[in-house]
Chains A and B, each alone.
Chain A
Amino acid sequence: KGGKKKKKPSNNKPLMQTKNEHKSVVLKIIKHYQEEGQGSEVVQGVLLGLVVEDRLEITNCFPFPQHTEDDADFDEVQYQMEMMRSLRHVNIDHLHVGWYQSTYYGSFVSRALLDSQFSYQHAIEESVVLIYDPIKTAQGSLSLKAYRLTPKLMEICKEKDFTPEGLKKANIGFEHMFEEVPIVIKNSHLISVLMWELEDKSTVADKHELLNLSSSNHLEKSLQLLMDRVDDMSQDIVKYNTYSRNLSKQQQQKHQYLQRRQQENAQRQSRGEPPLPEEDITKMFKPPQPPPRMDTLLIAGQINNYCQNVKEFTSQTLGKLFMAEALQGHNN
């Protein structure tokens, strides 16, 4: 069950193994979301850094402004160019290595993301998209994940062949769409000293969100999103089923037509008349348009993501509940 094995010379480099991120990048992303992106809007920005052996180092980032109606003629490319030029003046690495986006309850597997990541990866092979989940972070643990498109998916996007046969040829399942790159956060000594200073001067965090027991709100929203996606998926499946039913009906019709033709020709031959001319079958029975299957793949991937998140959340909450039970048991 193997897909096509193509060895392109540019793919000889080992895949990016880990990603080193500098602390200021993390803080900047958090701040950007906090200030500009309340609600379910996404905030986006660009990651800058360099490639070191088999690691991708992200050393800086800058945010993209939101798309508002009164900024219709806002030129994104120009903004980016200017930012990078200015940053070069202060010796910041100006190599584009990816982009970041915030997500709402884990819903980021979409066509838009795929297209953007594809164009980035096409231009720069090692680029990643960093997904920041502010809601999970607010619950107590920094949620930052890095993804790249698998080489198989890159090929498909390049050929733009989203028909069922194309996807089948490449043998892609929804688990093979994105690959996660492990993240490591690195600090320099100076920043470590800064952290000492901060810890010294600031009060202890008074909220330990991670041990919060309330879970129903989060579960409700996640399940709502999951149900929406499953509805989308079932609609998609219905479409595909009607398509295949139409196709097979058409095949039958074609078959019957050809058989009738043959019978007629046989009869005519027995009567000594010239056979009827062969007509172009394909023009008579135009095959129905196969629906693009990329959306199904994306929806499946998204559903998978939601399920993973929900399971992680429930396991954490179960742990917390058992802890509360132990505490209560001691009291009684």
Chain B
Amino acid sequence: MSVYGPVVKIHPVVLASIGDSYERRNEGASRVIGTLLGTIDKHSVEVTNCFSVPHNESEDEVAVDMEFAKNMYELHKRVSPSEVIIGWYATGFDITEHSVLIHEYYSREATNPIHLTVDTALQSGKMNIRAYVSAQMGVPGKTVGVMFTPLSVRYVYYDTERIGVDLLQRTRVTPSRTKGLTSDLSQVASSASRVQDMLATVLSYIEDVLSGKVTADNSVGRFLMDLVNKVPTISAEDFETMLNSNINDLLMVTYLSNLTQAQIALNEKLRLRPTHYTAIHIYHC
């Protein structure tokens, strides 16, 4: 059996779900397992979804609720028909013998399943997220064993996911771990301040290079050239006209929408006044 090393691309959704299901695990269970769903490419495997599967583990045996796994997969398939089972995950640091058994089951469901371990107990001081694929080893015909070869893990995001994750990163900072959603100009302001921070980092690097503290790196220099050239050099009048026309458009749109809102508010007021009909009705009574 050939060992190939696809790159495992994980979406943050998966990690969040794994963390969540670990927190909700049954009493006495030291780890959680579940199925990974996603798509397979020629050189990479993209993990886009997952769900946890109840299982029991003791010293000598392990029982996984396969019926449940199948059911859940069917349900998920209804929503996203392009996702297939590509492997399974387990929380915890090591690969135990039970993992081998579970992996064997999953090999029946998918070709060459990926095994993902997420170290939620933080045994090594960091949360190690690793992926493995199994390979046969040993002497063919005689004792055959299974070896788990590690794969490289990368994180990929959709654009909107990236923005969601950025927002969630900021919840890390507040002490109560909560964050309201801001809107309007404050977002532009925070974006601008982030760009400012980045510029400050770049500037300090440049200062260091100039004063000789850090050796100049040509590739970084080229990036800096690109950066400076990105600000387009337009003549002042052209820029003024462009700016003014844009601002005029925006102001006109604002004026129109205010007008529309005033119109419907007026309509409301008229509607809620007693009509002609009601007045005559009272008269006839």
Binding site for B on A (CB under 8 A): 20, 22-24, 26-28, 30-36, 59-60, 62-65, 74, 79, 82-83, 86, 89-92, 134, 137-138, 140-144, 164-165, 167-168, 171, 173-174, 182-199, 201-202, 205, 207-211, 215-216, 219, 223, 226, 230, 233, 237, 244, 247-248, 251, 293, 296, 300, 303-304, 306-307, 310-312, 314-321, 323-325, 327-328, 331-332
CA A164 to CA B68, docked complex, whole Å: 53
Other-chain contact of B168, A36, A164, A184, A187 (Cβ < 8 Å) = A187
Q: Which 8 A-B pairs have the closest CB atoms?
A: A24-B16, A307-B257, A91-B24, A27-B13, A210-B191, A314-B250, A65-B78, A202-B155
Other-chain contact of A91, B26, B194, B275 (Cβ < 8 Å) = B26
CA A187 to CA B180, docked complex, whole Å: 12
Contacts of A185 in B (CB 8 A): 167-168, 171, 178-181
Contacts of B275 in A (CB 8 A): 164, 244
Other-chain contact of A89, B65, B126, B161 (Cβ < 8 Å) = B65
Most chain A beta-carbon contacts within 10 A, residue among B68, B194, B267, B278: B267
Contact B159 A209 (CB under 8 A): yes
Q: A27-B164, A208-B191 are in contact. Are A188 and B177 (CB under 8 A)?
A: yes
Stretch at the interface among B136-144, B182-190, B209-217: B182-190
Q: A190-B23, A197-B127 are in contact. Are A304 and B264 (CB under 8 A)?
A: yes
Contacts of B48 in A (CB 8 A): 31, 35
Interface of B is mostly: helix
A-B contact pairs, 27 of them (CB 8 A): A23-B171, A24-B13, A27-B164, A31-B161, A35-B48, A86-B71, A86-B72, A141-B167, A142-B163, A186-B177, A190-B23, A194-B16, A196-B127, A208-B195, A211-B188, A215-B250, A247-B277, A251-B280, A300-B264, A303-B261, A304-B261, A314-B250, A315-B254, A319-B189, A321-B246, A321-B250, A323-B192
Contacts of B233 in A (CB 8 A): 331
Contact B163 A63 (CB under 8 A): no
Contacts of A211 in B (CB 8 A): 188, 191-192, 195
Q: A65-B79, A86-B75, A331-B231 are in contact. Are A251 and B19 (CB under 8 A)?
A: no
B52 at the interface (CB under 8 A from A): yes
Contacts of B127 in A (CB 8 A): 193-194, 196-197
CA A34 to CA B13, docked complex, whole Å: 12
Q: A165-B278, A196-B172, A325-B243 are in contact. Are A137 and B164 (CB under 8 A)?
A: yes
Contact B191 A30 (CB under 8 A): no
B258 at the interface (CB under 8 A from A): yes
B203 at the interface (CB under 8 A from A): no
Contacts of A90 in B (CB 8 A): 21, 24, 51-54
User: B256-277: which residues lie under 8 A (CB-CB) from chain A?
Assistant: 256-258, 260-261, 264, 267-268, 271-272, 274-277
B231 → chain A closest CB, angstroms: 6
Contact A23 B159 (CB under 8 A): no
Q: 4 additional contacts, CB 8 Å, given A30-B160, A184-B178, A210-B191? A: A137-B160, A173-B268, A182-B180, A195-B172
User: B18's closest neighbor in chain A, by CB?
Assistant: A194
CA A127 to CA B48, docked complex, whole Å: 28
Contacts of B164 in A (CB 8 A): 26-27, 30, 137, 142
Contacts of B182 in A (CB 8 A): 141
Contacts of B261 in A (CB 8 A): 303-304, 307
Contact A174 B268 (CB under 8 A): yes
A62 → chain B closest CB, angstroms: 8
B225 at the interface (CB under 8 A from A): no
**How many A-B residue pairs lie within 8 Å, measured between CB atoms?**
269
Contacts of B105 in A (CB 8 A): none
Contacts of B271 in A (CB 8 A): 164, 167-168, 293, 296
CA A197 to CA B90, docked complex, whole Å: 17
Contacts of A300 in B (CB 8 A): 264, 267-268
Contact A186 B192 (CB under 8 A): no
Contact B167 A321 (CB under 8 A): no
User: A251's closest neighbor in chain B, by CB?
Assistant: B280
User: B185's closest neighbor in chain A, by CB?
Assistant: A319
Contact B155 A314 (CB under 8 A): no
B80 at the interface (CB under 8 A from A): yes
User: A18's closest neighbor in chain B, by CB?
Assistant: B180
B71 → chain A closest CB, angstroms: 6
- Fill in one digit per residue for B221-252: 1 if any A CB lies within 8 Å of its CB, else 0: 00000000001011010010001001101110
User: A316's closest neighbor in chain B, by CB?
Assistant: B188
B61 at the interface (CB under 8 A from A): no
Most chain A beta-carbon contacts within 10 A, residue among B52, B154, B257, B274: B257
B122 at the interface (CB under 8 A from A): yes
CA A141 to CA B72, docked complex, whole Å: 33
B17 at the interface (CB under 8 A from A): yes
Q: A23-B171, A90-B21 are in contact. Are A198 and B155 (CB under 8 A)?
A: yes
B173 → chain A closest CB, angstroms: 10
Q: A86-B75, A137-B164, A210-B188 are in contact. Are A186 and B280 (CB under 8 A)?
A: no
